[in-house]
Amino acid sequence: MKLDILMVGVGGQGTVLSSNIVCDVALAAGYDVKKSEIHGMAQRGGSVVTHIRIGETVDSPTIPLKSADIVVSFERMEFLRYSEYISDNTTLILNTQMILPPSVADGAAEYPQSKVDSVKSKFSKVYEIDAISKAIELGNQKIAGMVVLGILAKSVPFAKEVWEQAVKDRVPPKTIELNLKAFDTGFNY
Amino acid sequence: MKKVLSGNEAFARAAYEAGVGVVSSYPGTPSTEITENVAHYKEIYTEWATNEKVGLEVAIGASLGGKRAMSCMKHVGLNVAADPLMTLSYTGVNAGLVVIVADDPNMYSSQNEQDSRHFARFGKVPMFEPCDSQEAKQFTKDGFALSEEYCTPVLVRSTTRISHVQTIVELEDRVEAPKFAPENNIAKWVMIPANARKKHRFVENRLELLKELAEGDKYNKITMRDKKIGVVCSGVAYTYVREAMPEASTLKLDLAWPLPMKKIAEFAASVDKMYVVEELDKFYETEIKAEGIAVEPLDRDLCGELSVDAVRELFGLLPVEADVDTTLPFRPPNMCPGCSHRGIFYAISRLKLFVTGDIGCYTLGLLPPLQAINTTVCMGASIGMAHGLDKATDDMSKKSVAVIGDSTFLHTGINSLVNTVYNQGHSTVVILDNTITGMTGHQPNAGSGKDIHGNPMPKIDFAAICKAVGVKEENIRVIDPFDVANAMEVLKEETSKPEPSVIITNKPCIFADRTVIEEPYFIHEDKCSGCRVCTKLGCPAIAWNASKRIALIDENLCTGCHLCIKVCKFGAIEQRSK
């Protein structure tokens, strides 16, 4: 098995927690796993990208071009920045939340909605979800990432119990129930 | 037990498992999390030092005192710590001492792309180069034993793709480190010329012994596969080579220095063509060629980092054509909403002052719309450069300021201020005291009033330091950086004086003190004239509605810092009531 997952988003969206859970699941399922992320200068409001690679053995910690199996975009346009990783057989999991880049916010540029639509069509499969609304329905905007993770879990061959255990191990004890509910919402979406 | 750990977590775990007693470091991306993670092990005394030189000197003292010691830094940090390192190579160690240095190929968060392997050759000390977290832990642990066996400091080189990559690690228990009594040995530890001459001979002999280690079975493994191509490589580049060319034979260099030249010659003889694949400088290649061993040429870029695709391209293996859309609206890093630097930078930008800048979050003052940074060289450079600018010109001291953060001032700024006073400069220094080392992720420093664990500590009084070094009391001004009008007035007054001045801002980073966060502001649509003054603050919470031609505030981002109401002339901005 080989599974290359690219997670992209905007700083502060909780991509780090989600990607840590994916690594825990891969390890528990008996696979090799490597995860590479860039953090530092562009944390808050900057574009963030995490490479996760799962397999019998993994060499490079970063995904080669045109070979991502799944792209998880926590923001509506962010996957556009990484379109060089899309192959003919890549799945897109898209949270439709919009976070305006500064040039769009101050009116100098337009949000690239038409590009979102055209690049989206290059994926072999697309799951779209307004995870923020789902999270607000469940009672807390902060668990939107867990809804997205639930969709990812449905798309990869690891047992649901392994995911649930990894979520329990990673989130604050008081929030376990809420996080599992959010995960389920995504899983059953 | 197996766990997925980042390289930095693995380096920290190594210190724990190796029975390390003392760790002293200065934060710097991508090395910061090593020391942060060490601090979680209560068995190890851990501290943030004021700079890397101090951190390494503390580690030397701890080794002298009989405890295994470690100091961690980014690549440019080792420049600061180079002075003690070069002579530590001569003295050697008592208990084991390891220095971890993290390079940043591609400069994700650095001012240059220097290759730290040169320091190993320069200092004539061994250097390990791990390729993943498991090796990060193993080589660091080995480093302590090797340090004691060969009486040498040991360098471990990381890169961003080691430090910030998570891989599976087998955890082991902590062992008690060998016992060393505190050492008192004049011939070893007092490097006067008479002693140092003997020690230089010792260093050269030690390097020969280390070469034997490098040639042995334990490190630097040759793996023969297809004999047509052999690749000498190390670190993360090894993983790229394995994936790009699984059939190629490899000589994986675990020790970046000294090099196993006999093994390399043997490897070269056993393959048709031998290549070297390394990131940044042609360090191995130059050394191997100097030995008279043939290396096949590769058209490799000396800038930036490698990848599987980059290695494939080097060897002409079907480079993947992939389009990158460069026309998308960027998400540049920005000062946070509520950042205490924004107001003073707005004032500086209004006065069109020339700014010698420094290293920290405030370097982001460079970006539009503030555009109030004109130079960034290295930690502490702002003050010395402002003084040079003053001495070289007739009136630049009246049109310029040096800008430096609290942590950077304590790192290497303070000595430059002494120099300015001593040499009768006229420059004005702005110390942006936000009580924390912000850019690297909010580590406490000597100005924070707390230690690495958050325990209360003495707080450095910046105004008192400035007074003590000879800045006149009336030229030391402590101001609220959000009060733009006053800040502009004080900047005008102090830059006009033919004397050294220091302006100290007194509001914390919103991550250092969450109690400063207040109810958000909002904009009355009917009162907003669309003058766009508030959007010129560059606050991420303030946006422009182009269709309505008014500004608006994202209340989820706003921290209620009051800055925007100070610049709005129409009373259009109001705070939400609780």
Q: What is the CATH number of the domain that holds A158?
A: 3.40.920.10
Each residue's pLDDT tens digit, B282-306: 999 999 999 999 999 999 999 999 9
Residue with the two structure tokens 């851990």: B46
Each residue's pLDDT tens digit, A143-173: 999 999 999 999 999 999 999 999 999 999 9
Option in B166, B239, B332 nearest A60 (CB) = B239
B575 forms beta bridges with B521
How far does the CA of residue B261 sit from the closest CA of chain A (Å)? 26
Query: What's the sign of the alpha-carbon dihedral B81, B82, B83, B86?
Result: positive
pLDDT profile of chain B (578 residues), mean per 10: 97 98 97 98 98 98 98 98 98 98 95 98 98 98 98 98 98 95 98 98 98 98 98 98 98 98 98 98 98 97 97 89 87 90 97 98 92 97 98 97 98 98 98 95 96 96 98 98 98 98 97 94 96 93 91 93 96 92
Candidates B32, B331, B443: best to mutate against A (most CBs of A within 10 A) is B331
Determine the 3-state secondary structure of B161 from DSSP.
Answer: helix
- For chain B, what's the residue count? 578
Kindly identify which residue of chain A lies nearest to residue B557, measuring between CA atoms.
Answer: A45
Q: How far apart are CA B503 and CA B492, in angstroms?
A: 11
Answer whether residue A42 shows pLDDT above 70. Answer: no
- Cis peptide before A112, with omega less than 30 degrees from 0? no
- How big is chain B by its Cα radius of gyration, in Å? 27
Give the pairing of strands B542-545 and B154-159: unpaired
Mean pLDDT of A59-72: 97
Answer whether residue A47 shows pLDDT above 90. Answer: no
Locate B18 and state its tokens. 């190796």
Kindly identify which residue of chain B lies nearest to residue A99, measuring between CA atoms.
Answer: B331
A32 CB neighbours in chain B (<8 A) are 168
Residue with the two structure tokens 């390890």: A27
The pLDDT confidence band at residue A136, using thresholds 50, 70 and 90, is very high
Burial of A18-41, coded b for 16+ CB within 10 Å and e otherwise, reads bbbbbbbbbbbbebebbbbbbbbb
Task: Give CA torsion, residues B22, B130, B107, B232, to 10 deg.
Answer: 150
Structurally, how many domains does chain A consist of? Answer: 1
Q: How far apart are CA B365 and CA B402, in angstroms?
A: 13
Locate B246 and state its tokens. 């699984």
Option in A47, A77, A84 nearest B324 (CB) = A84
Nearest one of B539, B542, B546, B545 to B573, comparing CA atoms: B542
Single-letter residue type at B446: A
Q: Indicate yes or no: CB of B4 within 8 angstroms of CB of A33.
A: yes
Window 443-472 of B: residues touching A by CB (8 A cutoff) are none
Determine the 3-state secondary structure of B511 from DSSP.
Answer: coil
| ipTM reported for the complex, 2 dp | 0.95
Which residues, at least 6 apart from B306, have a Cβ–Cβ distance to it below 8 Å?
B105, B236, B237, B240, B277, B279
Task: Give CA torsion, residues B320, B326, B330, B333, to 10 deg.
Answer: 60
B510 CB neighbours in chain A (<8 A) are none
Q: How many beta carbons lie within 10 A of that of residue B297, not counting itself?
A: 8
B323 CB neighbours in chain A (<8 A) are 83-84
B546 CB neighbours in chain A (<8 A) are 107
Q: How far apart are CA B234 and CA B313, in angstroms?
A: 19
What's the pLDDT at B469?
Answer: 97
The pLDDT confidence band at residue A14, using thresholds 50, 70 and 90, is confident
- Cis peptide before B369, with omega less than 30 degrees from 0? yes
User: Could you tell me the strand order of the sheet in which B226-233 lies?
Assistant: B222-223, B248-252, B226-233, B273-277
B544 touches chain A (CB under 8 A): yes
How far does the CA of residue B237 sit from the closest CA of chain A (Å)? 8
How far does the CA of residue B324 sit from the closest CA of chain A (Å)? 6
Q: How many beta carbons lie within 10 A of that of residue A175, not counting itself?
A: 15
A58 CB neighbours in chain B (<8 A) are 167
Q: What angle do CA A102, A108, A110 make, to 5 degrees?
A: 85
B222 forms beta bridges with B251
B329 CB neighbours in chain A (<8 A) are 101-104, 109-112
Q: Indicate yes or no: CB of B329 within 8 angstroms of CB of A109.
A: yes
The pLDDT confidence band at residue A39, using thresholds 50, 70 and 90, is low
- Taking one residue from A and the other from B, the number of pairs with CB-CB distance under 8 angstroms is 137
Nearest one of A16, A81, A90 to A52, comparing CA atoms: A16
What's the pLDDT at B150?
Answer: 98
Beta strands in chain A (DSSP E): 2-10, 32-37, 47-55, 68-73, 86-95, 125-129
Each residue's pLDDT tens digit, B48-72: 999 999 999 999 999 999 999 999 9
Q: Indicate yes or no: CB of B320 within 8 angstroms of CB of A100.
A: no
Nearest one of B386, B420, B422 to B404, comparing CA atoms: B386
Q: How far apart are CA B417 and CA B422, in angstroms?
A: 9
Q: Indicate yes or no: CB of A59 within 8 angstroms of CB of B160.
A: no
* DSSP conformational letter for A171: S
Option in A61, A83, A111 nearest B325 (CB) = A83
Q: Indicate yes or no: CB of B333 within 8 angstroms of CB of A10.
A: no
Kindly identify which residue of chain B lies nearest to residue A112, measuring between CA atoms.
Answer: B328
Q: Are B140 and B11 in contact (CB under 8 A)?
A: yes
B543 forms beta bridges with B552
Residue with the two structure tokens 């800048």: B357
Q: How far apart are CA B550 and CA B570, in angstroms?
A: 12
Mean pLDDT of A121-141: 95
Locate B393 and state its tokens. 């010109």
- Domains detected in chain B: 2-215 (3.40.50.970), 222-314 (3.40.50.920), 341-512 (3.40.50.970), 518-575 (3.30.70.20)
Which residues, at least 6 apart from A123, have a Cβ–Cβ distance to it below 8 Å?
A71, A86, A90, A91, A92
Q: Indicate yes or no: CB of A38 within 8 angstroms of CB of B2.
A: no
Q: Whole domain around residue A110: which residue ranges?
A: 2-187
Phi-psi region of A92 (alpha: psi -120 to 50; beta: other; left: phi over 0): beta
Nearest one of A168, A147, A165, A162 to A74, comparing CA atoms: A147
What's the pLDDT at B363?
Answer: 94
- What is the secondary structure of B469-509 as a DSSP string? TT--GGGEEEE-TT-HHHHHHHHHHHHHSSS-EEEEE----
B309 CB neighbours in chain A (<8 A) are 64-65
B109 touches chain A (CB under 8 A): yes
